[in-house]
């Protein structure tokens, strides 16, 4: 008998029929003799609807009240799922994150889980009940409801798996596992049998929303493997786990993309010590996160300074930058219609030439690169948003990701 954590995402519980199907799967697992703790997201589209409601009322919703509002989607889903389980003769109890003992820091809308009090869950498990926990939420030290950021139910599941020392952490979703790129964009994308925590962390942070970044961070820190599976089709799914030799043989594991980007360039910035801090100071004081940054000298006395921010922060950032540009006598050039395209693979650590091949492929296709960043296992470029699909397609083919089981270092040539 094992303790299994199963997380079902919004599309898996989008309708009552789907909820019934999920209840059947949970009951099957319990009937096999396992203890089951289930984490559920809000029904498909519900969190978006709640966020729109808040923004229809006010441009800047109060963060505490925003969390009270958006956490309700999960409360609806857990109660309905528990009812469906009870109706099918499977004893179950639902809890909000607060009731289930998910303790977080005080950062409303993007809180981090600090601890999990497991007494309630363990008591119910000892009585043979399935415990259904609302994902994406917890409580801070004041007892206020907090939420964990979009996609946060994945993190709830991993945190529970760690706290309860579960035998398996299964994340059920609407695709068969982790693919070489988003299978909804590229039909030839291949299902990966295994992927390392490190690669999955990069892919998730660069736009592959199949797992929330923080869930992978947590899983990696506590060495808790995650299996990503389809709710609707049987199959082995993908194991996200620590690195092994077979993974190192793969040059590129995946391509991620994000359309949520905006680029801002300042030209003719006077060369002064500390000028970079001056430019970015007001932006970070406004709690806007900067992603990529590049600076290059354009003459003896001036430089160009370019950076990217999330598209939702673009209007606010532009206002701040326009003021700074005036003060410095610099000019601005910006666009909110850019996207980030990234290739990730631990094979890059030991093999050169990936970047040049990537840039050549994009160049040959007439796609101009506006910015580049690299790390040991990833290369990201900013391109015009209209080219994102074409760019992913070209790179996916050029690096043989449509035949991923046979991909090896020789594919660089
Ligand atoms: P859930 O509602 O189950 O949490 P999400 O929509 O958050 O599901 O995540 C699943 C989606 O992630 C898939 O439908 C797919 O479009 C997208 N996705 C992006 N990149 C990948 C990838 N590399 N592999 C699998 N799915 C991906
Ligand atoms: N319902 C939340 C969201 O849509 C959390 C989740 O789905 O994991 O972001
Ligand atoms: Mg998700």
Contact 100, 136 (CB under 8 A): no
Residue 352, pLDDT score: 86
Question: Rounded to whole angstroms, how far apart are CA atoms 314 and 290?
Answer: 11
Question: Rounded to whole angstroms, how far apart are CA atoms 167 and 2?
Answer: 6
The domain 255-412: what is its CATH number? 3.30.2130.10
Question: Rounded to whole angstroms, how far apart are CA atoms 91 and 93?
Answer: 7
Buried/exposed 109-127: b ≥16 CB within 10 Å, e otherwise: ebbbbeebebeebbebbee
Ligand nearest to the CA of 11: 1
Residue 350, pLDDT score: 87
Residue 304 CB contacts under 8 Å (≥ 6 apart), including other chains: 265, 266, 267, 268, 269, 295, 296, 298
**Mutational test site, ligand 2, from 153, 155, 156, max ligand atoms within 8 Å of CB:** 153
- Closest atom of ligand 2 to CA, residue 148: 5
Determine the 3-state secondary structure of 305 from DSSP.
strand
Contact 178, 254 (CB under 8 A): yes
Which residues have C-beta under 5 Å from ligand 3, the single-atom ion? Answer: 9, 151
Contact 145, 68 (CB under 8 A): yes
Q: Which of 38, 43, 41, 11 is nearest to 25 (CA)?
A: 38
Q: Could you tell me the distance, in angstroms and rounded to a whole number, from the CA of residue 150 to the centre of ligand 2?
A: 5
Q: Is CATH 3.40.1160.10 the classification given to domain 3-174?
A: yes
- DSSP E strands: which ranges in 174-270? 194-196, 226-230, 238-241, 254-270
DSSP3 helix / strand / coil % (the chain, rounded to 5): 40, 30, 30
- Closest atom of ligand 2 to CA, residue 48: 4
- pLDDT by residue, tens only, the chain of 413 residues: 899 999 999 999 999 999 999 999 999 999 999 999 999 999 999 999 999 999 999 999 999 999 999 999 999 999 999 999 999 999 999 999 999 999 999 999 999 999 999 999 999 999 999 999 999 999 999 999 999 999 999 999 999 999 999 999 999 999 999 999 999 999 999 999 999 999 999 999 999 999 999 999 999 999 999 999 999 999 999 999 999 988 888 899 999 999 999 999 999 999 989 999 989 998 999 989 999 999 988 898 999 999 999 999 999 999 999 999 999 999 999 999 999 999 999 999 988 899 999 999 999 999 999 999 999 999 999 999 999 999 999 999 999 999 876 444 444 44
**Mutational test site, ligand 2, from 41, 44, 45, max ligand atoms within 8 Å of CB:** 41
Residue 406, pLDDT score: 40
Residue 405, pLDDT score: 61
Q: Could you tell me the distance, in angstroms and rounded to a whole number, from the CA of residue 159 to the centre of ligand 1?
A: 20
Return the ∠ at Cα 185 (arms to 405 and 338), rounded to 5°: 115
Global confidence as pTM: 0.94
- How distant, in Å, are the alpha carbons of 11, 254, 335, 381 from that of 341? 25, 11, 16, 5
Ligand nearest to the CA of 344: 1
- Compute the Cα dihedral for 260, 266, 271, 277 and give only its sign: negative
**Sequence spans of domains, the chain:** 3-174, 255-412
First to last CA, the chain: 49
How many CB atoms within 10 Å of residue 312? Answer: 11
Question: Rounded to whole angstroms, how far apart are CA atoms 399 and 408?
Answer: 10
């Amino acid at each position: 008998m094992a303790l299994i954590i199963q997380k079902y995402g919004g599309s898996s519980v989008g309708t009552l029929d789907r909820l019934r199907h999920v209840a059947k799967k949970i009951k099957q697992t319990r009937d096999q003799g396992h203890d089951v703790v289930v984490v559920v997201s809000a029904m498909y589209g519900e969190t978006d609807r709640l966020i729109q409601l808040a923004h229809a009322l006010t441009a800047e919703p109060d963060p505490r009240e925003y969390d009270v509002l958006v956490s309700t989607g999960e409360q609806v889903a857990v109660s309905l799922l528990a009812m469906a389980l009870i109706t099918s003769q499977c004893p179950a109890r639902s809890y909000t994150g607060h009731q289930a003992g998910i303790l977080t820091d005080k950062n409303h809308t993007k809180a981090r889980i600090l601890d999990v009090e497991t007494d309630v869950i363990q008591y119910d498990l000892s009585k043979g009940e399935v415990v259904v926990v609302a994902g994406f939420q917890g409580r801070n030290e004041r007892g206020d409801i907090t939420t964990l950021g979009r996609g946060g139910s994945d993190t709830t599941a991993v945190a529970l798996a760690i706290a309860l020392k579960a035998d398996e952490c299964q994340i059920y979703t609407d695709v068969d596992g982790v693919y070489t790129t988003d299978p909804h964009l590229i039909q030839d994308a291949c299902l990966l049998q295994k992927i390392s925590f490190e690669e999955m962390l990069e892919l998730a942070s660069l736009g592959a929303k199949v797992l929330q970044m923080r869930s992978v961070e947590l899983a990696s820190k506590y060495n808790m493997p995650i299996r990503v599976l389809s709710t609707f089709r049987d199959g082995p799914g993908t194991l996200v786990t620590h690195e092994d030799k077979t993974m190192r043989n793969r040059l590129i594991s995946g391509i991620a993309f994000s359309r949520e980007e905006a680029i801002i360039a300042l030209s003719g910035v006077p060369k002064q010590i500390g000028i970079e801090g001056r430019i970015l100071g007001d932006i970070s004081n406004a709690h806007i996160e900067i992603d990529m940054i590049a600076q290059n000298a354009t003459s003896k006395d001036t430089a160009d300074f370019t950076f990217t921010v999330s598209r939702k922060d673009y209007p606010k950032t532009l206002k701040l930058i326009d003021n700074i540009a005036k003060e410095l006598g610099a000019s601005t050039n910006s666009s909110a219609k850019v996207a980030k395209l990234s290739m990730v693979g631990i094979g890059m650590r030991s093999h050169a030439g990936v970047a040049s091949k990537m840039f050549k492929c994009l160049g040959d296709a007439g796609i101009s690169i506006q910015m580049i960043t690299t790390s040991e296992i990833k290369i990201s470029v900013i391109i015009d948003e209209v080219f994102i699909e074409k760019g992913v397609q070209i790179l996916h083919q050029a690096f043989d990701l449509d035949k991923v089981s046979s991909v090896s270092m020789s594919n660089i040539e």
